[in-house]
């Protein structure tokens, strides 16, 4: 049986036929005539029985190595679960410092109770792909694909104007220009007239398209205004657990996107619920983050696909 020499940090080193075999499998990095393995890679070699591990002149089992690594880094087992699962799919991820690399794309490994990594999401550039791997308490791993989204393509025009409204608390009743607004998916029709939300009226008033009382400024004005200026139509997404469901154009029978501010997603478990609903109703979940890449799309995926 071939031998894999391990150091105190469980980094592996081998040469000869074993090194060639592991290198062909996409594992390790050459260094000083040897192949050096990340501790996560070394664990897989031991678990599969590809080689016998030796540490300080004595044999070490997979279970011993795993226990040793997990005791020094409680997150190491999560990283190993994701790495092992991807390998079983036939993929060739590379382990990094607390994350994996799949085809050049970063994959962060988080737990369901972890907070949403908003700062990391802000770094996702437009069209860039990243992944999240989330092992649960039973060891099953769920994956999400993240993409930076700079804008959406919509075909709704702006209203021509001449809209007159009356205040109803933080909602507004349209008394003039109702027909065009309904065609452009503004407001909700009721038996006593068309009712605009605070965000809808604030947007129309800011552009000088509606006359009435000064609107109340709300926390979602920027999101709503941006989506409308892109030619899309945001409507309440409450029944999907999101801030908005968003339509692409006047001929759209169904909304294409679900939009929620990243600040409203408390943890990965909440994100998982939103992503699963979006997948079930065939829509794309978008997290609004502002900044350079205004949104990040989140899709549940059974098999992460590395970018070319």
Beta bridge partners of 176: 164
Measured in whole angstroms, how far is the alpha carbon of residue 6 from the centre of its chain?
36
Q: What is the pLDDT of residue 291?
A: 64
Say if pTM beats, i.e. exceeds, 0.85: yes
* pLDDT < 70 stretches in the chain: 291-293, 308
SS3 letters across the chain: CCEEEECCCCCEEECHHHHHHHHHCCCCEEECCEEEECHHHHHHHHHHCCCEEEECCEEECHHHHHHHHHHHCCCHHHHHHHHHHHHHCCCCCEECCCEEEECCEEEEECCCCCECCHHHHHCCCECCEEEEEEECCCCCEEEEEEEEECCCCCCCCCCCCCEEEEEECCEEEEEECHHHHHHCCCCEEECCEEEECHHHHHHHHHCCCEECCCCCCCCCHHHHHHHHHCCCEEEECHHHCCCEEEECCCCCCCCCEEEEEHHHCCEHHHHHHHHHHHHHCCCEEEEECCCCCCEEEEEEECCCCCCC
What is the gyration radius of the CA atoms in the chain, in angstroms? 26
Q: Which of 102, 97, 87 is nearest to 47 (CA)?
A: 87
Q: What is the pLDDT of residue 179?
A: 86
Q: What is the pLDDT of residue 24?
A: 96
Q: What are 1-17's pLDDT values in tens digits? A: 799 999 999 999 999 99
Sorted by where each starts, the structural domains of the chain and their CATH numbers stand as 3-72 (3.40.1170.20), 91-152+256-301 (3.40.1350), 163-218 (3.40.1170.20)
Q: What are 54-64's pLDDT values in tens digits? A: 999 899 999 99
């Amino acid at each position: 049986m071939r031998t894999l020499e391990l150091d105190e940090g469980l980094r592996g080193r081998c040469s000869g036929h074993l090194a060639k075999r592991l290198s062909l499998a996409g594992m390790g990095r050459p260094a000083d005539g040897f192949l050096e393995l990340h501790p996560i890679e070394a664990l897989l070699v031991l678990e599969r029985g590809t080689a016998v591990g030796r540490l300080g002149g004595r044999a070490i089992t997979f279970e011993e190595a795993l226990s040793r690594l997990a005791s020094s880094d409680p997150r190491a087992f999560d990283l190993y679960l994701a790495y092992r699962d991807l390998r079983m799919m036939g993929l060739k991820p590379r382990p990094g410092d607390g994350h994996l690399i799949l085809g050049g794309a970063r994959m962060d490994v988080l737990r369901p109770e972890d907070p949403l990594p908003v700062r990391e999401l802000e770094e996702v550039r437009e069209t860039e792909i990243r992944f999240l791997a989330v092992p649960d308490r039973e060891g099953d791993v769920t994956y999400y694909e993240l993409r930076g989204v700079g804008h959406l393509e919509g075909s709704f025009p702006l209203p021509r104007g001449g809209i007159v409204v009356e205040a109803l608390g933080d909602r507004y009743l349209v008394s003039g220009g109702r027909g065009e607004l309904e065609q452009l998916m503004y407001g909700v029709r009721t038996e006593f007239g068309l009712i605009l939300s605070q965000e809808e009226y604030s947007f129309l008033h800011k552009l000088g398209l509606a006359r009435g009382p000064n609107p109340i400024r709300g926390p979602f004005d920027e999101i709503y205004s941006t989506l409308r200026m892109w030619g899309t139509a945001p409507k309440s997404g409450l029944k999907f657990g999101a801030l908005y469901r968003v339509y692409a154009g006047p001929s759209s029978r169904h909304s294409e996107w679900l939009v929620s501010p990243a600040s409203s997603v408390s943890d990965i478990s909440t994100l998982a619920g939103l992503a699963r609903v979006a997948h079930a109703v065939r829509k794309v979940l978008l997290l609004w983050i502002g900044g350079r890449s205004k949104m990040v799309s989140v899709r549940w995926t059974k098999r992460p696909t590395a970018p070319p």
